[in-house]
Each structure stands twice: as structure tokens, then as C-alpha cells.
Structure 1
Amino acid sequence: MKKLITILFLALLVPCLKAQQAEISGCWLGKLSVGAVDLRIVFNILIDDDGIYKATMDSPDQSVKDIPMGDVRFSDDSLVIIAPLLSGDYKGKMVNDTSIEGTWTQSGLSYELNLIKQAGGFKMNRPQEPVAPFPYIEEHVKFPSLNGEFNLAGTLTIPEGNGPFPATILVSGSGSQNRDEEIFGHKPFKVLADHLTRSGIAVLRYDDRGVGESGGNPVSATSADFAEDARAAIQFLSDRAEINEERIGVIGHSEGGLIAFILASQYDDIAFIVSLAGPGVNGKTILKDQTEYISRLNKMPEEVLQQTMRVNDTIYSILEKYGDPETGIEKINSFVTDFYRQEGEGEEVIEQVMNNLSSTINPSSYPWLSYFTRSDPAEYYPDIKCPVLALNGEKDCQVMAEKNVSAIVNGLKNSGNQNVTAKVFPGLNHLFQHADTGLPNEYGEIEDTMSPEVLETISEWIIGPREPGAPDRGKK
């Protein structure tokens, strides 16, 4: 998930009534709908002793907080916030003391963004997020990348008691993510690591390259590069005295599941794999299924959907065929422009389409997209000999549950690996939350981070079921 990093510039306040100042100051919450994703946006506005507006912005669903604002203008019930660095602006009209109706415009695209004044500061409720003190050892660590060119940083949690302990690394899904795989205010990997460590399993979770405290550059990196980073994490664990080096596994979420398969096909010291909503079919199929399923849930008109699918199919084919970003992007841009001109669309619409396209497919993202589109887990199944647990949620909109879990089970068993366990959990989404539709715009609205039955399934599969009434494993 890409961060919505917005820096807005604040101007001197035009003289206005004290009553107007009192109305606009405070915490204002709105929801920005971008495709299938809803992002909550918070403007925190106050007035300093000189009568000048000061403000910060939060995007809680993207874990972005306290972004300093720039110029804010408010007069005659109209609010304008300019964002010159992002070619964006917010314009709104105060309807009453507690609501503003307005529009956010960025890169030529406009989105409705209505704001509601909050009685206090906005805070999301995340009841599963672990809070110290913990009944285990928590250590902040750094370890070298596989080529030694940069360091990766993470958190290692080790059960109390006598080791050595079984261990696992956690590998995040697509996009640059921190060690907690933080998304929409949730910290799935922190919740998972806490549960596993309380169950007697050591866990290493780490910031992706170029994120948080990790070095390296994520630009142009592919799943193969991230697999090398994961291998470096395994090597770090194997050198720790508290860890049983013969029982180190990989738990990968989404793209992390593909990375787990890559690793296990290359190294025979991987003790086990847990694929959490990981792909079982090729990347092109994943992307096509995802687009169609989410579009249908959002009730996209059939004619528009079929047009979108035709365009996307050609784009995916270009991504498959051309690994070079310059060539691929040129061919994609040419195709999309010609397609919509032939469909009779005006230049203004085409410009908006191209602006939207360039935010997704650009020189930085192209290598990853091209690699993922061409990726196929079936290439790795014949060389995977370790036990595999494949889990998914029935309402997953990003990785179709039955299709991908079945492909993993059948692919591994047909390749000679019979030690495969699989389960599709009813009612759970891509993050393994209990969901209504499973659409991504629900992720942030749901308070629970990860279903307890999924957590128990993982720990019991790795280490065996806990006796009724027994204390946390690993405790003295």
C-alpha cells in the first residue's frame, strides 16, 4: 500500500471574525474513496497567539501522523488548503459548525472529501495490539543483507525459558512495509509475533528494505530481491544460540507467501512454510481475478467492467513480455491512449486516465509489476520438500481463496510433497479479519486485527496444541 504523503502549506490568515476562528479550529475527519479503498483523512487545525492557523494532517489508515500543514485560508465559510508539492488542493464550504463539504484534487483527479468535526482527537480502536510489559524477551536487532551492502532492522521476540526454540521469520506482502506490516492502523505482524512467542516460538519481523530503520533501496526491487532479504533474516536467526537452527520456518503474507516458496525451493534448511493468503497461481491471474472480483462487488456496470478487463489484459501481457521499464511503459501508454481515442473519449478524460495510470505503472514500480505478473508458484513446487500450511479467508478479494489454496495443495502433492495442510476460513478477508464483503475499504473500519482462530491454527500447526489451562509456552 503506498503512503498518501501530503505536505500542505499554511498562509497568513485573512482577517476574520473570532467566531469564524472558533468554528474552524479543531479536529476534522473525512473519508477519501479511491477505487475500492477508503482512506480516513484528519485535519487538526488550531490558531496560534497571533491569530495564524497552524495545522497537521493524519492519514490513520496509512499510519501517517502529524504531517505539518502549510497555507490554510478560511473566510466567508470557505476553507482552502493548498498542496503545491503534490499539485493538490482541498476546497470546502462550511455547512454548519460541525461539517464541511468539499473536494480533494490531486494530479488532475478530484475526489469528494467531506469533513466532520470531532469532539476530541481521532483515535482508532485496535484491541488486539499488544501492550508492554510482555512475558517474553523483545530485542531490536540489525543484520546485514545477503550481499552485505546494507543492514536490515527488525524486532526479535524470544520466549522466556530454556531454548533453543523453534523460530520463524515474517515476510510481508507487496509494497514497502514496516516490521509490523502496518496497514489501515492495524499491525498484523506485531499481533502474530506476540501470539507465536507466547506459544513458545521465536519470531523475527523486520522493516522492508528502505523502510523504517532498514537500509537499501526498494526502487526497482522485485520479489526475488525481497527473497534475498528474507534469506538474510534466516541466516541471522541460525546464528543465534537461543534458536534451534533446524526448526526455522517462513511465514509469508500475500506476496510473502510467494517469497516463502522461492526460498524453500532454493534452500533445503527451511523447516516449514505458512502461506497466509499467498498466491498459488501465476501473477497475471492474481491481478485479473482481483480486478474483476472487486469491481463486481463494487457493482461496476458490466460494460465498463468488460472494457476495463480488456485494457488490463493487454497491459498485463505487455508487463509479461517486456522486462525493460522504458520499453514497457512506452508500449502501455501508447496502447491505452489509442484505445480510449478509438472509444471516442475526449482528451480531458484520456489525460485523467493517463495520470491515474502513471501513478501505478512508472519506472519505479514497473520492475516489480513485470516480475510479479510473470511469476508462477508452480515453478517452485517440485523443489519444496518441507511441510506447508496454506491458509486463506473465504472473503479474500485480493487472492481468491479456493482457487489459490487448491493450486498450492495440488501443485505440491503432484510434485511429491504430501505434507500439506490447507484451510479456508469462512467470513475472513485478506487480512484474516471477520468481514462483511471483504472489500479493502472495510480493513480500517474493522477493529480486530487478525482472527484468533487463525492465530491458534498457525501456532498449533507449528508446535502442537496447547493443553487446556496450560500457561503460555516458553515461560519459566
Structure 2
Amino acid sequence: MKSTLLGLVAAFTLAASPAHAVDASGHWKGSIANSLRLFLQFGKTADGKWEGTLKVPQQGFTTKVDQLEVGAEQLGFKLLPLNAGFTARWSEQDKAWIGSWSQNGQTVPLRLERSEATAGQLRRPQLEAIAARQASYTSLDVGFANPAGGGHALAGSFTVPRGKGPFPAVVLVHGSGPIDRDETILGHKPFLVLADHLSSRGIAVLRYDKRGVGKSGGVYQSATTDDFASDAEAAVAFLRARPEVDATRIGMVGHSEGGMIAPMVAARDPKLAFVVMLAGPGVRGELLMVEQLALAASAAGASAEAVDRERALNRAVFAAIVAEARPEVAGDKARQVMEEGERKGILPPGTAAVRARAFTTPWFHNFLRHEPGPVLQSVRQPILALNGERDLQVPAELDLSAIRAALAHNPRAVVEELPALNHLFQTARTGAASEYAEIEESIAPLALNTVSAWILATVGQGGSMK
């Protein structure tokens, strides 16, 4: 699930004139709200014009700045696509640009200090360890078709333990967005780490690029969760045909949206042996998104009053979308609610139509209307549902209570909250999305070991299913 540089923001003008000159060229760094790190580089082109680049590694965001103006003691620029801006004066005492960043109608202080280099590559120790050692499994590039989805081919990686099979196996199903087989995000590759861990413990793993992503065919833009579930079913069919795999011991591990898809597949396919939900939603998408956006705004420093106003607006917007089965009509209704939010000053001017379009894409419209409860109630297989205590995207308190209630009939269900982990199952300080890139850990060992131990206890490494 997605996040941006601080949302929609308000633009800014420059202050006036200097006392003595400062060389602004080179690399600079700063932090918004003591959490979101910015890196900037300023320099002159061959014709003497100033240009600049902004990087936000925590969000994988890089852009050229607009309307950069550099004076002897003044500096300012805008980000026109985001309606954002920064303006500052040079402080000789602090050796820094002391100024303000404007966003979402709010102004926060920001100081830029010299940096010796650009934002460097952050360490990813688990990926480094995988690359450095010899694997105890083989890895194959594979492809398979989804006849039910129009016949497009999906491409993936299939890791198989060494030794005598057939082995238990899992399909890894990604979260929302155009995600590749490794679920790559901000330099992390959680599915690569998870596949390595599982296959090192005797479990074959299939992970694949989403349709229309990487080497997979098909169209991503118009696809919904139901379409992605169809692709996941094709992945299961591929595993059932592999001689290395025990067809009676195939399960599915889904993260975020994938944690919604895995129970959908299990409910339709009684031969699927087990399900693991990693931060899978337990409540209707409409309710989840209201809380997700409120928690994200709070983590970004919005006041309690501003969070409450936006929560109320989002409730009205999503209720209007969910009530309308036709996405195009839902978009009109959502825009009308948001335009009222503009008039009341809750949203920046001119943003209602943009937001309405974003929330009424085929995927979003389908997601907001999806009810996980009835699906979970129909799952008869063993199921493990895990959430991180500090997950702000699929909050554990909200979702695990709903999942427990839906699975109350299933004696083979295990529902657990893992302490101190965020939405990516990293060990986190606050759980804010702004921390994802800075955390070196891709997946906490606690999460890896919990998943593998449960799977092996459920299906075993050899012989028949337990």
C-alpha cells in the first residue's frame, strides 16, 4: 500500500536580498519533522543556470526541482507537480540554510547542511549475506500461463531444496502496486529473503512478477484483486505439475493485498494445504483505508484536529464510492464530497478531482468494497495470520481482532501479533513508512522463523501432511 512525499502541498515564494555571497553548489542534507531525510544537489549548467535534484531515499523518490533561485544569501525552489516549496536564508553562524518547507497548508522548519556526498546506498545485510554464500537450494527461472486470465504468461523464480523430494511448497503473493517477484521496495527484497529462508529449510518456493510487471505479460493497470487472485491460482497449478513438489502439501503465503488473496484462493480450492497471511486485511477496504490514511497523517506530524477532519472526510468519500457499483458514477460522487472538503479548507484547492480519480480506479474501487470476513469464514485449511505490532498500514489492533472473529470456527487457525514489527515485518521504532528505507533489516528473523516453523509443523519436511 502506498505513500508519497508528504501528500499534497502548498507552494511558497522567495524572500528578498542578501548581504554577502555563499556558494550553494554541491550536496546538502536535511530532515522534515526529524524523520523524513532529504538530500539535495545544486549546481550550474554550462550556460550558467542553476539546477537542482531532490532525493528522498526513504520513499524511493528522486526529482528535479523547479524554479530554483539562488541569491547571495537566499535559496528557494518549488516542486510544481506536488505544489510544494522551500525557501531559506543562509546562516553564517550555523553554516546552514535555515528556512521552511510548506506542505498540505502547513509550514514546518527545515535546515540544509552540507553533505560530503549524495544519498548513498543503504546497507541491506540480509541481501548481502544471500549473495555471499552458496545456496542450499537450486533456483530456476520459470514461466507459466494463466488461461483463466486471458492466457498471459507470468515469469518467476522457483527455488527447490537440494536432496530427495518431493517437497512441500508455497506460492508467495505480493502486496498492492506494480510489484516484482522479490517484492522490491526501497532497496529491500522481502520475498527474496523469505524464499531463501524457506528453501534453506526444505520448502520449495515460487515467486513471480505481477502481470504487466518485470518479465510477466498481461496488463497491470486495469487489473483488480480478483484478477491477481486468478494469477495466484495459476501459480498453484504450476506447482502441482512439478515433480519436485508434493501436490498435497502446497500452500500460499500472501503479504498485505496478498494476505487478502491467499484466503480467497483457499476458499475456492479445498486442495490447497495451508495459508499464511502476512499483514492481510481483516476489515472491509473502506474501513481500512480511513484508518491507514489517518495513521499516516499523524505519523507525518499532522495535528490531532487535522487528522480528525481528514478522517471524517475520507469516511464520507469512501462510503460514497462503496455505495455505487459503477466506478465512473462512484468517481463523480467522490469528487463532489471532496469538492466540499476543498470549500471547507480540509483539502488544498484543485485536488478533489485528482484524488477522486485515484480512489476510483478499477483496483481501488474493488478493494474498498471487498469484505475479508466472509472469505475467512469459509476457509477450512490451517491458517496462520500475522501482523506487526507497529504496522500503520494494516493496523494489528483493528485487523487481527476481525480476523480472530472470522476464524473462530477454524480449530487450525493461529492469529498472532509480532512485537515491534512494521508493515514490512521489519523491527521498527514507530512503524511509519518513512522508516522503511532507513531500516537495514528486510524481514525480522522473528517473522521468518515464525512462518517457517508453523509451515513445517503443519505439513512437515518429508512424508505425508500432519
Q: TM-score, normalised by structure 2?
A: 0.79
- For the residue of structure 2 that corresponds to 1:208, the secondary structure is coil
1:364 and 1:72 map into 2 onto residues whose CA distance is 33
Q: CA RMSD in A?
A: 3.8
Indicate which of 452, 463, 466 corresponds to 1:459. Answer: 452
Where in structure 2 are the equivalents of 1:289-308 lying within 5 Å? 289-295=291-297, 300-308=302-310
Which blocks of at least 5 consecutive residues in structure 1 are unaligned?
5-18, 466-471
Q: CA deviation at 1:105?
A: 8.0
Which position in structure 1 is the counterpart of 2:322? 320
- Tell me if 1:168 matches 2:170: yes
Which position in structure 2 is the counterpart of 1:8? none
Q: CA deviation at 1:439?
A: 2.5
Indicate which of 370, 374, 379 corresponds to 1:379. Answer: 374
Which position in structure 2 is the counterpart of 1:119? 116
Indicate which of 429, 443, 449 corresponds to 1:450. Answer: 443
Which position in structure 1 is the counterpart of 2:72? 76
1:298 and 1:83 map into 2 onto residues whose CA distance is 19
Alpha-carbon displacement from aligned partner over 1:40-79 (angstroms, at most 9, x marks no partner): 44445677999888876654334467x7899977553555
Alpha-carbon displacement from aligned partner over 1:386-440 (angstroms, at most 9, x marks no partner): 11011112222222314422322332233xx321112111222222222233222
Alpha-carbon displacement from aligned partner over 1:148-170 (angstroms, at most 9, x marks no partner): 44332322222222222211121
- Tell me if 1:181 matches 2:179: no
1:323 and 1:218 map into 2 onto residues whose CA distance is 21
- Tell me if 1:143 matches 2:128: no
How many residue pairs end up in the alignment? 439
1:54 and 1:212 map into 2 onto residues whose CA distance is 33
Contact 1:2 1:176 in 2 (8 A): no
C-alpha change, 1:215 and 1:162, in structure 2 (3 Å) is same
1:152 and 1:111 map into 2 onto residues whose CA distance is 46
Contact 2:175 2:256 in 1 (8 A): yes
Which position in structure 2 is the counterpart of 1:368? 363
2:397 and 2:81 map into 1 onto residues whose CA distance is 44
2:42 and 2:160 map into 1 onto residues whose CA distance is 43
Which position in structure 2 is the counterpart of 1:400? 395
- Tell me if 1:411 matches 2:406: yes
Farther off after superposition, 363-372 or 439-448: 363-372
Q: CA deviation at 1:84?
A: 7.3
Farther off after superposition, 256-265 or 331-340: 331-340
Indicate which of 207, 224, 246 corresponds to 1:205. Answer: 207
Q: Amino acid of the residue matched to residue 361 of structure 2?
A: Y
Q: CA deviation at 1:204?
A: 1.9
Q: CA deviation at 1:361?
A: 3.5
- For the residue of structure 1 that corresponds to 2:131, the secondary structure is coil
Q: CA deviation at 1:264?
A: 0.8
Q: CA deviation at 1:306?
A: 3.2
Q: CA deviation at 1:339?
A: 4.5
Alpha-carbon displacement from aligned partner over 1:18-49 (angstroms, at most 9, x marks no partner): x977x613x4444467xxx9654444567799
Which position in structure 1 is the counterpart of 2:231? 229
Farther off after superposition, 319-328 or 47-56: 47-56
C-alpha change, 1:83 and 1:425, in structure 2 (3 Å) is closer
2:107 and 2:240 map into 1 onto residues whose CA distance is 51
Alpha-carbon displacement from aligned partner over 1:118-176 (angstroms, at most 9, x marks no partner): 32342212222232444122223333234344332322222222222211121122222
- For the residue of structure 2 that corresponds to 1:448, the secondary structure is coil
Contact 2:68 2:78 in 1 (8 A): yes
Farther off after superposition, 419-428 or 405-414: 405-414
Contact 1:45 1:54 in 2 (8 A): yes
Contact 2:276 2:383 in 1 (8 A): yes
Indicate which of 257, 260, 269 corresponds to 1:258. Answer: 260
Q: Amino acid of the residue matched to residue 131 of structure 1?
A: A
Indicate which of 408, 419, 425 corresponds to 1:432. Answer: 425
Contact 2:359 2:365 in 1 (8 A): no
- Tell me if 1:131 matches 2:163: no
2:68 and 2:300 map into 1 onto residues whose CA distance is 35
Where in structure 2 are the equivalents of 1:211-290 lying within 5 Å? 211-290=213-292
C-alpha change, 1:400 and 1:364, in structure 2 (3 Å) is closer
Q: CA deviation at 1:228?
A: 1.4
Contact 1:103 1:111 in 2 (8 A): yes
- For the residue of structure 2 that corresponds to 1:240, the secondary structure is coil
2:239 and 2:113 map into 1 onto residues whose CA distance is 48
Q: CA deviation at 1:295?
A: 5.0
Q: TM-score, normalised by structure 1?
A: 0.78
2:308 and 2:54 map into 1 onto residues whose CA distance is 38
Q: Amino acid of the residue matched to residue 445 of structure 2?
A: P
Contact 2:328 2:360 in 1 (8 A): no
Which position in structure 2 is the counterpart of 1:331? 333
Q: CA deviation at 1:267?
A: 1.5
- For the residue of structure 2 that corresponds to 1:214, the secondary structure is coil
Contact 2:66 2:80 in 1 (8 A): no
- For the residue of structure 2 that corresponds to 1:413, the secondary structure is coil
Which position in structure 1 is the counterpart of 2:15? none
Alpha-carbon displacement from aligned partner over 1:254-292 (angstroms, at most 9, x marks no partner): 121111111111122321110111112222222233344
1:214 and 1:463 map into 2 onto residues whose CA distance is 31
1:180 and 1:40 map into 2 onto residues whose CA distance is 25
Q: Amino acid of the residue matched to residue 76 of structure 1?
A: A
C-alpha change, 1:230 and 1:24, in structure 2 (3 Å) is same
Contact 2:50 2:70 in 1 (8 A): no
Identity over aligned residues, as a percent?
37
Contact 1:41 1:58 in 2 (8 A): yes
C-alpha change, 1:245 and 1:330, in structure 2 (3 Å) is same
Which position in structure 2 is the counterpart of 1:7? none
1:106 and 1:143 map into 2 onto residues whose CA distance is 46
Q: Amino acid of the residue matched to residue 444 of structure 2?
A: S
- For the residue of structure 1 that corresponds to 2:384, the secondary structure is strand
C-alpha change, 1:460 and 1:314, in structure 2 (3 Å) is same
1:339 and 1:109 map into 2 onto residues whose CA distance is 17
Which position in structure 1 is the counterpart of 2:16? none
